[in-house]
């Protein structure tokens, strides 16, 4: 996975992504999705608080737009009913869905 995401370079051989040599690609952004088992979430925040924070970082400045987007995303990953629950109480699969929601 580290080679595919270009964190590491292969020591020998070649890697093809969609038929293209990885060494010839400047980036694999948009070609590969990668969600590690453990990633940095703020366990003390609720799902809604965390995604609102992420939305602010992504440029959603208007509160109504930000709130609507957070609700939509949580519905898409089937976590809207847990919007007010702390991430630290979530199962591993639920935490991964929050990770997907933040992208």
Give the ranges where 8-76 is alpha helix by DSSP (H): 47-57, 63-76
| pLDDT over threshold 80, residue 77 | yes
pTM, two decimals, is: 0.71
Beta bridge partners of 79: none
What is the Cα–Cα distance from 80 to 73, expressed in whole angstroms? 8
Q: State pLDDT tens for residues 46-75.
A: 999 999 999 999 999 999 999 999 999 999
Torsion 28-31-33-34 (CA) sign: negative
Q: Can you give the pLDDT at residue 80? A: 98
Spatial separation of the C-alpha atoms in residues 103 and 92, rounded to whole Å: 17
């Amino acid at each position: 996975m580290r080679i595919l995401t270009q964190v590491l370079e292969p020591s020998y051989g070649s890697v093809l992504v969609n038929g293209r040599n990885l060494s010839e690609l400047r980036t694999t952004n948009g070609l590969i999705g990668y969600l590690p088992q453990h990633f940095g979430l703020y366990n003390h925040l609720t799902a809604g608080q965390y995604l609102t924070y992420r939305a602010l970082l992504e440029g959603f400045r208007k509160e109504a737009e930000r709130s609507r987007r957070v609700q939509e995303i949580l519905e898409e990953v089937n976590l809207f009913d847990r919007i007010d629950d702390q991430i630290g109480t979530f199962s591993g699969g639920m935490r991964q869905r929050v990770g997907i929601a933040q992208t």
